[in-house]
Structure 1
């Protein structure tokens, strides 16, 4: 895709510019050509840089070794701002068929959480809809029709676990439970987080990137693997 883009840029801008150079050099107007050439180079460089600042990771969701869904994580960096978006679709069966869709978002600025949202839909019905918003010194927590305040600095949340190993980080903010949770190191690049509902997750990292997540529920275990 990038070579094709460069070829198009050359055909559209560079070739006419070189022809114009020939005409301009004969009149000694080299400065104008240099300015146009610089603009072209900056345009190409900025386009490629914008691509490098966007990352996408895909995880396969498995239950008992069978793929039951997929999760995608998008990470965009724009100066001091980091935007994370996570979406997943799961289709499985216990006593009856279950379809789960999720859509989570987080916005960090200068390393501090500005906003996050958690949305869950099960079999077409809304199950969870929560937001965390920074308002001056406090966070406003919204859960359905309920609102409360959270007075604590948030620099690391559950979504960041997928793209940054929690080295020297002892707590993580749960956007779903809307509270801080302890991070326990249980092995080399291996961490456990106990959830308020009695369940727990384990995270396995390689080169600072989360490769595998195990969701341990009282009724099942689900594994998410980076592909």
Structure 2
């Protein structure tokens, strides 16, 4: 479906898996990390945690597999494997088009679960960082997705009310964060965009 964005003053884009197709590289880095630290590798489960910072994913791994891995040691290893990848993914065409079509008429922001040290170089390498009025990363917030803090801070930095923002996301964690922020959401799926308005906030997945 073609997104209908006339009613919004600002658009907030998730980065990984929404604007840039980095998730295969992230999952590959997790596969190498699982081999290094000896935990079970579950690609679909790790993909579902997209938007969550790596140290918090390690806490989820510990909880799921009853382990006591050091979150910073494991996440540092994972992030180094990701950083070493020569190609981290291309811009996702349909979402990039939304950005290009709207960045002159509306405020636009990034709201990502990646750390700033990783997000900024990636956005720069794709030639899009200068398009954004705000870039909010995991570095700036304490409560990450599915909490609303990332998107609320992006709205604040753009000086736009949350209700006047719409979010583009690719995970249920991101959808939950958008709804918690009082924002409508378009999910980026293999079939295109799926509109999930905030009025659905009582939904059950």
Q: Give the TM-score normalised by structure 1.
A: 0.25
Mark the structure with the bigger radius of gyration: 1
**Greater relative contact order: 1 or 2 (C-alpha under 8 angstroms, separation 6 or more)?**
2
* Between structures 1 and 2, the one with greater strand share: 1
TM-score by length of 2: 0.27
Which is helix-richer, 1 or 2? 2
